[in-house]
A and B are shown apart, each in its own frame.
Chain A
Amino acid sequence: MLKQYLEVVLYKTYADLRAENQRSYMGFLWWIFEPIMYMSVFYVVFALALQNNDENFVPFLLVGLTIWQWMKSCLTHGSESILNNSQLMQHVYLPKAVFPTISIFTNSVKFLFIFLLLMLYLWSEGFVPTQHYFALPLVLLVELLFIVSVTYLMAAIVPFIPDVRFILENFLQAVFFMSGIFFTVEKIPERYQDWFYLNPMANLIEAFRDILMYQQWPDFSSLAIISVLSLLVMGIAMYLLRRFEYVYPKISI
């Protein structure tokens, strides 16, 4: 049974990615151009217009944006996934966790691609791989765990209260500005710095920068805390998904 659902996830991921590529003239190239265009906006605003002359600001910014976008794309698409597949689940039984999983897979494939480009860029800028790269799989895994847990939780709730999507959108916007994507933690007053680190994304982005740019080990204790909290959230999300497994097909919006 599990094998069958895995096949559903894998083939649907392939199908969705392929459909997305077929839908435009440049297809697959948009996987590259879209993030580049998106990041250029930030480059123009912060590096050029606001005259941020910090050393290595551009790589700093790009790492932050890439890591952030991974989480954001998975969460925004994944949170709507059960709601959007209400037609499909009227016709066939599928475990509802399948739908956010597909969203996470498709967006993670695109992320991995961009992440690879990011590393090429960093290497060309002289940020060469060091032994600290051994921690990279771990940090990727912790962020994935975090993404899965919050995405499952939102996907479980949104079908009951679709309005949550609008709150989530604005909440994400707010957290975006608080995750240290275009500023370092030193730029905020010291008494607020502890608050800054309550944001899992701020910690994750910093962990990636430690490895990719600063040639140091990430803060393993904060990664451990994020993992434990994510597992807790995941437990709640899985409970909800199971509890309402047969209720979702009965919700009519």
Chain B
Amino acid sequence: MNNSKPLITLDHVGVYYRRRNGLFGGDKFWALKDVSLELYPGETLGIVGHNGAGKSTLMKVLAGIIKADRGIIHNQGYRASLLALQLGFIHYLSGRENAILSGILIGLSKKEVEAKLDDIIAFAELEEFIDQPIITYSSGMIARLGFSVALYADPDIILIDEVLGVGDAAFNKKSTTMMREKIKNNKTVVFVSHNADIVADICDRVVWVEHGKSKMAGDTDVVLKAYHDSLQSAANTPAVQPDTTV
């Protein structure tokens, strides 16, 4: 797999946020300091790290939402999208209208969404309710619709932040299965998670991000082992334990 050219390359990328302090004041806070990684076609790349390590910022960089303030990002023109659930949903509109709106916002054309609409509705199991305003839906129904749109949006590269499946137990199983199938199906995926078990299960390679720096990249088991060891040693010396809520 790694003998093909990477779709996206990050080369010593750094991103800062400006912490505001009055009207003109403010200091830079580097959420990413020095991250390098390569994303190859068809692979599932896991990203692990503590809370506040910069994982979410890294995903925004990959999605093209924010730019690197230093370092270089190479993207050969592929559309990488966050798996955005219920993006742009408006309560007073029908399920159908929300599906179209959400699909267009994610980056599909109206024609593309309309062509996929039957599948989206069927997967969400909302055939009877699709023309009702979603304000009449249960939260589970809204979650199903949101997931279904995101699933069928199908960008070149899917960026998944923690959530694999949604909804009640039955739909959660169905959506997780569908997502895993997609991931195994030669789709290029970046998957962020705290959960090392899922990462070990679905990822081909893993990048470990710590304090805004890519600390290690490589085969899943090797990187996860190193990550685990550091968690253990951090637990043994609580004084230097970084801020986590895991």
Q: List the B side residues contacting A252 at CB < 8 Å.
A: 17, 20
Assess whether B109 is in contact with A7, with CB atoms less than 8 Å apart: yes
A19 within 8 Å of B (CB atoms)? yes
4 nearest interchain CB pairs? A22-B92, A91-B84, A246-B67, A19-B92
A11-B100 in contact (CB<8A): yes
In angstroms, Cα B118 to Cα A233, docked, is 46
Q: Hey, what's the 0/1 contact readout for B80-106 against A, CB within 8 Å counting as 1?
A: 011010011011110001001100111
6 A-B contacts, Cβ less than 8 Å apart?
A4-B104, A18-B92, A22-B93, A90-B60, A92-B82, A250-B66
* Contacting pair A88 B105 (CB below 8 A): yes
**Cβ 8 A contact of A92, one of B23, B84, B91, B100:** B84
Q: Would B110 and A11 count as touching, CB distance under 8 A?
A: yes
Distance A183 CA – B123 CA, assembled complex (angstroms): 62
13 A-B pairs besides A11-B104, A250-B17 with CB distance below 8 A are A4-B109, A7-B104, A7-B109, A11-B100, A12-B88, A15-B90, A88-B88, A91-B82, A93-B64, A249-B60, A250-B15, A251-B18, A252-B17
* Chain B residue contacts of A89, Cβ below 8 A: 65
Which of A12, A93, A252: most chain B CB closer than 10 A?
A93
**Distance between Cα atoms of A19 and B94 in the complex (Å):** 9
Say if the beta carbon of B218 comes within 8 Å of chain A. Answer: no
Cα–Cα distance between A249 and B66 once the two chains are bound (Å): 7
Summarize A's interface: helix, strand, loop or mixed.
helix
Question: In the complex, A246→B93 CA distance in Å?
Answer: 30
Chain A residue, CB-CB nearest to B89: A15
Those of A210-247 within 8 Å (CB) of chain B: 246
Q: Is A120 an interface residue (CB 8 A)?
A: no
A187 partner residues in chain B, CB cutoff 8 A: none
Q: Does A23 contact B (CB under 8 A)?
A: yes
Query: Once the chains bind, are A250 and B84 in contact (CB under 8 Å)?
Result: no
Q: Count chain B residues whose beta carbon lies closer than 8 angstroms to a beta carbon of A.
A: 30
The answer to whether A15 touches B23 (Cβ under 8 A) is no
- Residues from chain A with a CB closer than 8 A to the CB of B65 are 89-93, 246, 249
Write out, one digit per residue, whether chain B residues 96-131 have a CB within 8 A of any chain A CB (1) or not (0).
010011001111011000000000000000000000
| Interface assignment of B133: CB less than 8 Å from any CB of chain A | yes
> Contact flags (1/0) for A80-92 with B, using CB distance below 8 Å?
0000000011111
Contact partner, B90, options A19, A90, A249, Cβ 8 Å: A19
The answer to whether residues A8 and B67 also contact, given A19-B92, A91-B84, A92-B84 and a CB cut-off of 8 A, is: no
A11, B101: Cβ atoms closer than 8 Å: yes
B63 at the A interface (CB under 8 A):
yes
Contact status B66-A88, CB under 8 Å: no
List, in ascending order, chain B residues with CB within 8 A of A18's CB. Answer: 92-93, 97
User: Which residues of chain B have C-beta atoms less than 8 A from A188's C-beta?
Assistant: none
| Residues in chain A near residue B17, CB distance under 8 A | 250, 252
Find chain B residues with CB under 8 A from A4 CB. 104, 107, 109
Contact B93 A91 (CB under 8 A): no
**Is A36 interfacial (CB-CB < 8 Å)?**
no
How far, in Å, is A20 (CB) from chain B's closest CB?
8
Count chain B CB atoms within 10 A of each CB in A18, A92, A161, A246 and give the residue with the most: A92
Q: Give the contacting residue for A88; candidates B23, B87, B93, B110; CB below 8 A.
A: B87
A94 at the binding interface (Cβ < 8 Å):
yes
Chain B residue contacts of A90, Cβ below 8 A:
60, 65
CB distance from B92 to the nearest CB of A (A): 4
A55-106 residues at the B interface, CB under 8 angstroms:
88-94
Within 8 Å by CB of A23, from B82, B92, B107, lies B92
Is the pair A92, B93 in contact by a Cβ cutoff of 8 Å? Answer: no
Chain A residue nearest to B18 in the complex (CB): A250
